[in-house]
Amino acid sequence: MKVWQLLFILIIFKFGYNLPAIAKHNNQKWEATFKSVVSVLPTWPGYEKPGFGAPSGIAPEGTGFYFKFQEKENLSQYILTALHVVEKATKVEVEYFNKSKEVVEIIFADKKTDIAILKSKAKKKPLKFSKKNIYLGSHVCVIGNSFGLGSSLTCGVVSALNRKNLGFNEIEDFIQTDAAVNPGDSGAPLLNSFGELIGMVDAIYTKEADIDAGVNFAINKSLIKKILNKINTK
């Protein structure tokens, strides 16, 4: 038997039995992350119940996620989302992972950055802001409410950083990604491979139709935290 064959057998013997446990742990991690994400269902004046096809009179849906408003919070009542999803709303509901719904309150809106904060009665485990640096080519994932179908996971890479002056918002600091983003994903979390928050989905770059073309933008965590710090110091 060759040396490399012996080493291979030893590695399998030592670690092989742990592979199912590792896979199970990863599944549990992502399932827990899904539970921190909600579908955002706004009611707009003059529009029917939330759904898709706003031009035909149906308000658009979006996505939101629980986040830590205060660093010491283990559970949170605060949901981050994109302002353009709820800006015109007379009522906002969120739908949880288990399909239950709750009417929530808009407690903060910043038009310059398109950031809004909702408050629920329910308390959920919040997503954690990543303390790691973001690099080009890094693996990232989005959990969003694509086309109103409920939470789904898409993945890609960081295509570019510090995208500004694109014309979406007055103040911009975007992460560009090719992770699939579609209508209903506005306000969705952009996550690193550890399930940590690095941004919030805000825009799709397209000239023909509002569908994913692989050029998508998420508000950088640094800009989000800057806005949150301003709120906390008031």
218 vs 70, more confident = 218
Asked if residue 226 has pLDDT above 60, the reply is: yes
Please indicate, yes or no, whether the overall pTM of this predicted structure exceeds 0.95.
no
Would you give the end-to-end CA distance of the chain in angstroms? 70
Known catalytic membership, residue 138 = no
**Catalytic annotation, pick one of 76, 146, 159, 186:** 186
pLDDT band at residue 24 using 50, 70 and 90 as cut-offs: very low
Measured between alpha carbons, how far is residue 23 from residues 20, 30, 104, 176 in Å? 5, 11, 36, 29
Q: What is the pLDDT of residue 53?
A: 44
**Catalytic annotation, pick one of 76, 114, 146, 173:** 114
Asked if residue 20 has pLDDT above 60, the reply is: no
pLDDT band at residue 207 using 50, 70 and 90 as cut-offs: low
Mean pLDDT within 31-47: 89
Q: Which domains does the chain have, with CATH numbers?
A: 31-124 (2.40.10.10), 139-232 (2.40.10.10)
Asked if residue 25 has pLDDT above 50, the reply is: no
- Sign of the Cα torsion 176, 181, 182, 184 reads negative
User: Measuring CA to CA, which residue among 221, 84, 109, 75 is closest to residue 162?
Assistant: 221
Asked if residue 15 has pLDDT above 90, the reply is: no
Using the structure block, give the residue that is written with the tokens 């550890």.
Answer: 194
Known catalytic membership, residue 130 = no
- How many other β-carbons are positioned within 10 Å of the β-carbon of residue 165? 6
Known catalytic membership, residue 212 = no
Q: What is the pLDDT of residue 32?
A: 85
Asked if residue 6 has pLDDT above 50, the reply is: no
Please compute, for residue 232, the number of CA atoms within 13 A of its CA located in the half-sphere on the CB side. Answer: 10
Asked if residue 199 has pLDDT above 90, the reply is: yes
Of the chain, the percentage scoring pLDDT greater than 70 comes to 79
Q: What is the pLDDT of residue 72?
A: 75
**Catalytic annotation, pick one of 36, 39, 84, 212:** 84
Mean pLDDT within 202-213: 71
- Cβ distance 178 to 214 under 8 Å? yes
The overall average pLDDT reported for the chain is 84
Tell me the helices (H) and strands (E) count for the chain, helix number first: 4, 14
Using the structure block, give the residue that is written with the tokens 């940590």.
Answer: 196
99 vs 51, more confident = 99
Mean pLDDT within 40-65: 72
Asked if residue 11 has pLDDT above 60, the reply is: no
